[in-house]
């Protein structure tokens, strides 16, 4: 009997130790989960304690779209619920709800949910005037960017900064991570190629968040007459330029996923050529093709998709080329695709069929000339190196986060 008692006591001791170990393990796992959550990048818009006090008693205008969301709630709705006096919304390319085609005219309207006026700043009018900003003290910019010179949200930000400078208004940028912020690449935009897809003398992949770029615009005197605006920023928590970032909301209709966003810097140059990059399919900016089977084995057929791609290039025609959907997300900007299809083209002169558009996207007339001269990829890259080194040196002055280098 005494032996059984000893065995029973031993059993209870072991069970107790296992229980304590299990509880300890559970606490460690819960701690790991908490730690992981704590390290998740927190966009500026989510840091309410940093900026809500700035808005007290002030008239506010928002430059926002469908990406201006914190934990499922739009910034407009959040600010109104906090009693902020939102006077108006300024809508960029693709509109306030992000449902318009690329390049489609955005009309003025009223937000049906809140009754707040929506004023278009994409189309013939890119900059708000004094009437649009009547009663406004602070303009808030909160839009998810993808880190390329030709993505037009940063051009809209530039014009908003101009308006704030001219009218002596405060500009508040709520920063968000850059999904292509882990490198810098491509030619620097030359002065004669300034356009809405190339507002600033920066490379195709600029390696900045929107707040860092806003600081650069101010610091380098890129507003008219070298003026500056009253700029304030709310930074992203738990972010650096080497942090991979998967966007929770597609930033525009034709960048539906991480693969498209990573390929976008390299594939956008095809917009100035005869090739399709998948507009009018469920995988835009993830394929390349042309209605000729000599261009590759992969086949796709662009169709009209109103609100996403109305009457796309080569509509209803079978295109042949390559499928890049399995490309690693480590992918960085490359000329490999453009040069490969340029060489495959039966008529090199017709390959770049929108010469001015190609130059605006490249930011230079040199690239088109270099392709026609038959320069190698390495020779073309080398021609950008001096400009890139000067840009990288300038860029360091405006960084808000640890860099990737």
What CA–CA distance (Å, rounded) separates 322 from 295?
8
66 and 210 part of one domain: yes
User: Could you give the number of structural domains in the chain?
Assistant: 2
- Please, are residues 239 and 210 in contact by the beta-carbon 8 Å criterion? no
What CA–CA distance (Å, rounded) separates 332 from 148?
12
Give mean pLDDT, residues 342-358. Answer: 92
What CA–CA distance (Å, rounded) separates 8 from 2?
10
Predicted local distance difference test score (pLDDT) of residue 323: 98
100 and 175 part of one domain: yes
DSSP string, 378-403: HHHHHHHHHHHHHHHHHHGGG--S--
270 and 226 part of one domain: no
Residue 334 within a domain: yes
Length of the chain: 405
What CA–CA distance (Å, rounded) separates 292 from 299?
10
The CATH number assigned to the domain holding 65 equals 3.40.50.12170
362 and 215 part of one domain: no
Residue 266 within a domain: yes
- Choose the final residue of a domain: 177, 210, 242: 242
76 and 208 part of one domain: yes
What CA–CA distance (Å, rounded) separates 111 from 280?
28
More confident residue, 354 or 108: 354
66 and 179 part of one domain: yes
Residue 320 within a domain: yes
57 and 174 part of one domain: yes
- Cβ-proximal residues to 135 (8 Å cutoff; 6+ apart), any chain: 59, 87
236 and 280 part of one domain: no
| 3 state SS of 175 | coil
Name the residue range of residue 315's domain: 258-374
Residue 224 within a domain: yes
| 3 state SS of 156 | helix
Residue 248 within a domain: no
Q: Which of 18-32, 183-197, 211-225 has the lowest mean pLDDT?
A: 18-32
263 and 237 part of one domain: no
Predicted local distance difference test score (pLDDT) of residue 24: 40
pLDDT tens digits along 134-185: 999 999 999 999 999 999 999 999 999 999 999 999 999 999 999 999 999 9
């Amino acid at each position: 009997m005494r032996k059984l008692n000893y065995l029973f006591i031993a059993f209870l001791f072991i069970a107790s130790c296992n229980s304590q170990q299990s509880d300890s393990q559970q606490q460690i796992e819960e701690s790991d989960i908490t730690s992981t959550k704590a390290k998740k990048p927190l966009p500026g818009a989510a840091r309410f304690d940093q900026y809500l006090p700035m808005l007290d008693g002030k008239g506010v205008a928002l430059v926002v779209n469908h990406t201006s969301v914190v934990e499922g709630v739009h910034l407009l709705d959040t600010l109104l619920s906090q009693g902020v006096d939102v006077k108006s919304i300024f809508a960029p390319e693709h509109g306030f709800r992000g449902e318009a085609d690329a390049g489609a005219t955005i009309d003025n309207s009223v937000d049906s949910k809140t009754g707040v006026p929506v004023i278009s700043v994409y189309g013939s009018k890119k900059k708000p005037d004094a009437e649009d900003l009547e009663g406004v003290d602070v303009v808030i910019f909160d839009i998810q960017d993808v880190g390329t010179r030709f993505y037009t949200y940063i051009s809209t930000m530039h014009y908003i900064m101009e308006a704030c400078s001219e009218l002596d208004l405060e500009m508040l940028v709520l920063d968000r991570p850059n999904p292509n912020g882990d490198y810098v690449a491509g030619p620097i935009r030359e002065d004669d190629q300034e356009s809405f897809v190339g507002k600033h003398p920066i490379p195709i992949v600029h390696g900045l968040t929107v707040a860092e770029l806003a600081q650069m615009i101010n610091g380098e005197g890129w507003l008219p007459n070298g003026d500056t605006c009253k700029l304030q920023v709310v930074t992203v928590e738990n972010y650096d330029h080497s942090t991979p970032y998967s966007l929770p909301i597609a930033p525009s209709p034709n960048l539906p996923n991480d693969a498209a966003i990573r390929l976008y810097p390299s594939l956008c140059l095809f917009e100035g050529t005869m090739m399709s990059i998948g507009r009018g399919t469920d995988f835009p900016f993830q394929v390349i093709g042309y209605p000729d089977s000599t261009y590759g084995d992969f086949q796709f057929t662009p169709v009209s998709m109103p609100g996403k791609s109305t009457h796309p290039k080569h509509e209803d025609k079978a295109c042949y080329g390559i499928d890049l959907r399995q490309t690693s997300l480590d992918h960085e900007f490359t000329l490999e695709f453009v040069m490969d299809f340029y060489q495959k083209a039966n008529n090199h002169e017709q390959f770049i069929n929108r010469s001015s558009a190609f130059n605006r996207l490249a930011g230079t007339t040199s690239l088109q000339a270099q392709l026609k001269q038959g320069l190698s990829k390495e020779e073309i890259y080398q021609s950008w190196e001096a400009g890139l080194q000067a840009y990288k040196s300038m860029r360091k002055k405006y960084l808000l986060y640890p860099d990737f280098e």
